């Protein structure tokens, strides 16, 4: 096995650990969250982490078996814009209130997602080729989507009126 493949496998192994920790955290956050909107967001994020784990494990297994970085590694639909999903959830739970522990849980999730973005960004310059670059760029985009989702949730919790005015895409004229 050459050094580039070994580096890729090390990167994927670290990514797996991060994604598994993220899934565990979101599962625990959903259980501990008293707010129904927060629980749904954490459940959604846990499902995305499962997808990441499965995707990364498949690529890792392929590298282990000598298949290298093939187009399958980057041939997945990137889900980076979760704003509409959040707006739908927010409409569903219009009168939700959050307490300090809910806000703190969001901040920990934000730290997780920010760390994942930084990790993948640090791997990009070392990518072996176009397929690995596409994979890493897609992971960065998805992690940014998760970060934006948590940022929206925090904004919604801390300033619901401001969030509704700025993000809900409602109009002020009553139409």
Query: What integer pLDDT is reported at residue 1 of this predicted model?
Result: 66
Cβ-count burial of 51 within 10 angstroms (0-12 exposed, 13-18 middle, 19+ buried)? Answer: middle
d(CA 77, CA 70): 16
What is the mean pLDDT for each group of 10 consecutive residues in the chain (175 residues)? 89 97 96 91 96 94 91 79 86 77 93 97 94 94 95 91 78 48
Domain parsing of the chain, residue ranges? 3-160
The CATH class for the domain spanning 3-160 reads mainly alpha
d(CA 154, CA 110): 10
Task: Output the CA–CA distances (angstroms, integers) from residue 132 to 68, 129, 150, in the order listed.
Answer: 10, 6, 27
pTM greater than 0.85: yes
Query: What integer pLDDT is reported at residue 175 of this predicted model?
Result: 45
Query: What integer pLDDT is reported at residue 95 of this predicted model?
Result: 65
Query: What integer pLDDT is reported at residue 88 of this predicted model?
Result: 86
């Amino acid at each position: 096995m050459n050094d580039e493949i070994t580096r890729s496998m090390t990167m994927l192994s670290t990514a797996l650990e991060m994604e598994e920790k993220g899934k565990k955290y979101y599962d625990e956050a959903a259980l501990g969250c008293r707010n129904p909107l927060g629980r749904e967001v954490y459940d959604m994020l846990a499902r995305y982490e499962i997808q990441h784990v499965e995707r990364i494990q498949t690529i890792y297994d392929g590298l282990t078996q000598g298949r290298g970085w093939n187009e399958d590694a980057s041939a997945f639909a990137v889900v980076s814009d979760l704003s509409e999903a959040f707006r739908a959830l927010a409409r569903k739970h219009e009168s939700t209130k959050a307490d300090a522990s809910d806000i703190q849980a969001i901040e920990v999730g934000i730290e997780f997602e920010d760390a994942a973005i930084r990790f993948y960004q640090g791997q990009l310059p070392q990518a072996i080729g176009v397929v690995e670059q596409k994979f890493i760029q897609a992971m960065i985009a998805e992690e940014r989507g998760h970060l934006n989702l948590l940022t929206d949730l925090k904004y919604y919790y801390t300033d619901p009126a401001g969030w509704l005015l700025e993000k809900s895409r409602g109009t002020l004229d009553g139409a």
